[in-house]
Chains A and B, each alone.
Chain A
Amino acid sequence: MFKTITRCASKFVAIAAVSLLAMNVHAADPIRIGSFLSVTGPASFLGDPELKTLQMYVEKINEKGGVLGRQLELVHYDDAGNASKARNFASRLIRSDRVDIIVGGSTTGATMAAVPMVEQARIPFISLAGAVVITTPVKEWVFKTPQSDYMAAVRILNDMKTQGLSKVGLISGTGGFGSSGREQTLKAVKEIGGIEVVGDETYSGSDTDMTAQLTNLRNVKGVDTILNFGFGQGPAIVTRNYDQLGIELPFYQSHGVASDGFLELAGDSAEGLRLPASPLLVPESLPESDPQKPVVEAYKSEYEERWDAKVSTFGAYAYDGLMLAVAAIEKAGTTDKAAVREALESIQGHVGVTGTFNMSADDHNGLKADSFRILEVRDGSWKLIN
């Protein structure tokens, strides 16, 4: 409590000081962007680059004079991957910090826990989590930047079909990402047709050896490819076990591991695997004509320069979220929540790092499955296949 009081007091003093200094130049109130992210905990590899991205671009935008002539102010909390905390922080952002828009929610659980609150408070919310349930069915105030896991499943299965593969051994994490991915894969298999799931295994996020599950999948009759849906270190262990067991089948992973960190963990054993990912991992392979190329290259170099760390596709979700928010506020010409929401819903042809967004009243994601590129690991780095 003491902390809050001192914080309030120091804020008050700061505001007083600023208004004294800027007596004649009436400084407009900043635009408050709220965020709750899984900066620590099991999903920290999502929240960490997301927070870094938000901090960095809020600074950059402010250096260039802000939005609508007003500075941006980022108010952010760490939900540690815990849905209850996420709900509390969403509530705090809306009711206590009175932010104008929320860009956050690293995981589907955190996002969904905040959704009732957001819908009730009628505040625009751009989620950074993947599952299809976030925007299907459409919720008036909820948007999201990553492609859904359903699109990823479709993209993977289609690539398998073009490779002449039809019997999939599926292995997935029991966490939110893997579990939802598994469900969407099973759904996509039904809708696409001509391909089937012949084995279905899972592993928990903290497992240290997946040899048993992989042995089972390998022994399924007729299996001709294996797909792993999961994120965190689990898929890296799966990949290494896959290699140790000497399984020769074509190996697919999900966009959950589309990061250079994964390549470091999995090492040589990742050789040859394919996955759907944002073009962020292969900016140099993009043709000059690709409209995403400059955006992707700029984000990558700016992020890596600022943080001295490899860029990650998850950070890019936050980049797109922030830029969509800014675009919508500029388009609306105000921070009035209904106007910003309207503007968000009508954004067309917004080129982001993840893809080109075309929002509409029945699509609050605005991306198509083909915004995913299929990449393959060759000689320890990503190669663009199509």
Chain B
Amino acid sequence: MFSEFLQYLFTGITIGATYALIALGFTLIYNASHVINFAQGEFLMVGGMATVSLTAMGVPMLLAVVLAVILAGVLGIALQRLAIAPAKNADVVTLIIITIGASIFIRGLAQLVWGKEYHVMANFSSDEPIQVFGAVLNTQSLWVLGVGAILVAVLVYFFTRTLTGKAILATSMNKDAARLVGIRTQVVLMLAFMVSALLGSIAGIVVAPITFTSYDIGIILGLKGFVAAAIGGLGSGMGAVVGGLALGVVEAMAAGYLSSDYKDAVAFSMILLVLFFLPRGLFGAKVVERV
């Protein structure tokens, strides 16, 4: 009984940690620009696919990872500079459609360059799973959780201790005020896209040995990340982390105890429940309306 529960929990928090990292990416960009970036999943795909193809070309793993993350970061900057910045006076809905166009474009390119097949990435360490009270834990899950925790810690440090981080926070709270105190908001937006691309690509790399990777893996993972961000309260970093983990665990528990047919429906119902009863999400920021 307990081992079953533990098994579902392991499954849930592993995938949940991935959702959390994607949700953090959504949150970052949403805070800086109020744009829901539907290309978020593509950062994840680029991370995984670039690492796989670089290692296949004989590049050492560590270097491949670094190059893949850099590639994703450049992509994030390019997305902001080339697609979002030129349309900065557009309606938020228009910006969202632009990110959808960008995601289709990136996916199309990936399909041309890397093909349509699924690819395997080896576990970072042993393939031998660990036994814990009758449940098994894939060593890669530990990597996902560990890297996730480190990234969250780095982000917390970045936003509370560094000037750049504070600038991003200030811009997200009040663009005009930030501009007045000399923060270049366009640069901040670019940083937000870059950091969110870095987060996404790292998530894509650590989770690839579990999920495989392909040109279209970003669609569903990106979407689940958005769901996690919505559950946590779009705009809250803490909410993104908790929302991601909660979504992962609920999915696994629903598949285990309720019905595997309807586990995704359970996950999506969570959004409705949260919106009905905790409209700002689990950790959504209180919004003060200015007239």
Chain B residues within an 8 Å CB radius of A219? 4
Interface residues of B in 171-220 (CB under 8 A from A): 207, 210-212, 214, 216, 219-220
* Contacts A208-B210, A209-B15, A265-B212 given; does A174 touch B252 at CB 8 Å: no
Query: A204–B260 Cα gap in the complex (Å)?
Result: 9
User: How many residues of chain B have a CB within 8 Å of chain A?
Assistant: 32
**B14 within 8 Å of A (CB atoms):** yes
Q: Count the A-B residue pairs with Cβ separation under 8 angstroms: how many? A: 73
B146 contacts the other chain (CB 8 A): no
Q: Which residues of A contact B266 (CB under 8 A)?
A: none
Q: 1/0 per position for B97-125, CB-CB distance to A under 8 A?
A: 00000000000000100001110100000
A206 at the interface (CB under 8 A from B): yes
Q: Give Cα distance in the complex from A198 to B175, angstroms.
A: 60
Q: Which residues of B sit under 8 angstroms from A237, Cβ to Cβ?
A: 211-212
List chain A residues, Cβ under 8 A from B210. 208-209
Cβ-defined contact, A265 with B216, below 8 A: no
Compute how far the CA of A44 lies from the CA of B118 in the bound complex, rounded to whole angstroms.
11
In the bound assembly, the distance between CA atoms of A265 and B121 in angstroms comes to 9
Within the assembled complex, what's the spacing in Å between the Cα atoms of A16 and B127? 64
Stretch at the interface among A99-107, A125-133, A210-218: A210-218
Would you call B220 and A206 a contact (CB within 8 A)? Answer: yes
Cross-chain contact of A212 among B111, B221, B260, B261 (Cβ < 8 A): B260
Q: Using known A-B contacts A40-B116, A215-B256, determine if residue A209 contacts B111 with beta carbons closer than 8 Å.
A: no
A244 touches B136 (CB 8 A): yes
| A271 nearest CB across to chain B (Å) | 13
A66 within 8 A of B: no
Is A245 interfacial (CB 8 A cutoff)? yes
Contact B252 A212 (CB under 8 A): yes
Checking A45, A202, A204, A268 against B116 with a beta-carbon cut-off of 8 angstroms, the contacting residue is: A45
Q: How far is the CA of A42 from the CA of B212 in the complex (A)?
A: 15
- Contact residues, A242-283 vs B (CB, 8 A): 244-246, 261, 264-265, 267-268
Q: B4, B111, B117, B264: which has the most chain A beta carbons within 10 Å?
A: B117
Verify B264–A204 contact, CB threshold 8 A: yes
Q: How far is the CA of A246 from the CA of B129 in the complex (A)?
A: 9
List, in ascending order, chain B residues with CB within 8 A of A212's CB.
7-8, 11, 252-253, 255-256, 260
B144-183 CB contacts (< 8 Å) to partner A: none
Using CB atoms, name the residue of chain A closest to B117. Answer: A261
CB contacts under 8 Å to A, within B1-28, are: 4, 7-8, 10-11, 14-15
**Are A265's CB and B120's CB within 8 A?**
yes
B117 and A244 within 8 A (CB): no
Other-chain residue from B214, B216, B256, B261 in contact with A216 (beta carbon distance below 8 A)? B256
The answer to whether the Cβ of A160 comes within 8 Å of any Cβ in the partner chain is no
Q: How would residues 350 to 369 of chain A score, 1 for a CB under 8 Å from any chain B CB and 0 otherwise? A: 00000000000000000000
How many chain-A residues does the 8 Å CB contact rule pick out? 31
Determine the chain A residues whose CB is within 8 A of the CB of B53 once the complex forms: none
Is the pair A209, B11 in contact by a Cβ cutoff of 8 Å?
Answer: yes
Give B211-246 interface residues, CB cut-off 8 Å to A: 211-212, 214, 216, 219-221
How many angstroms from the CA of A346 to the CA of B117 in the assembled complex?
38
Could you tell me if A203 and B207 are in contact, using CB atoms closer than 8 angstroms?
A: no
Q: How far is the CB of B71 from chain A (nearest CB, A)?
A: 23
Instruction: Give the chain B neighbours of A267 by CB distance below 8 A.
Output: 120
Question: How far apart sit A213 and B111, CA to CA, in the bound complex (Å)?
Answer: 31
CB pair A215 B7 closer than 8 Å? yes
A48 to B138, CA, bound (A): 33
Given the complex of chains A and B, what is the CA–CA distance between A202 and B8 in angstroms?
A: 16
Which residues of the partner chain B approach A40 to less than 8 Å between Cβ atoms? 111, 116
Query: Is A233 in contact with chain B by the CB < 8 A criterion?
Result: yes
Binary CB contact string for chain A from 38 to 62 against chain B (1 if under 8 A, 0 otherwise): 0010101100100000000000000
Known: A44-B116, A245-B136, A265-B118. A236 touches B129 (CB 8 A): no
Q: Whole-angstrom distance from the CB of B19 to the nearest CB of chain A? A: 10
With A48-B116, A244-B129 given, is the CB distance from A211 to B212 under 8 Å?
no
- Interface centre among B10, B216, B260, by most chain A C-beta atoms within 10 angstroms, is B260
Q: A265 vs B117: C-alpha distance in the bound complex, in angstroms?
A: 10
Task: Name the A residues within 8 Å of B118 (CB-CB).
Answer: 232-233, 236, 261, 265
A215 to B127 CA separation, bound complex (whole angstroms): 19
**A40-B111, A204-B264, A208-B15 are known contacts. Are A213 and B255 too (CB-CB below 8 A)?**
yes
Residue pairs across A and B with Cβ atoms less than 8 A apart, 30 shown, are A40-B116, A45-B116, A45-B117, A48-B116, A201-B260, A202-B260, A202-B261, A203-B260, A204-B264, A206-B219, A208-B221, A209-B210, A211-B7, A211-B252, A212-B7, A212-B8, A213-B260, A216-B260, A219-B4, A233-B118, A233-B214, A236-B212, A237-B211, A244-B129, A244-B138, A245-B7, A261-B117, A265-B120, A267-B120, A268-B127
Q: What 10 A-B pairs come out closest when comparing CB atoms?
A: A206-B220, A208-B211, A212-B256, A212-B255, A233-B118, A44-B116, A211-B11, A244-B129, A201-B260, A202-B260
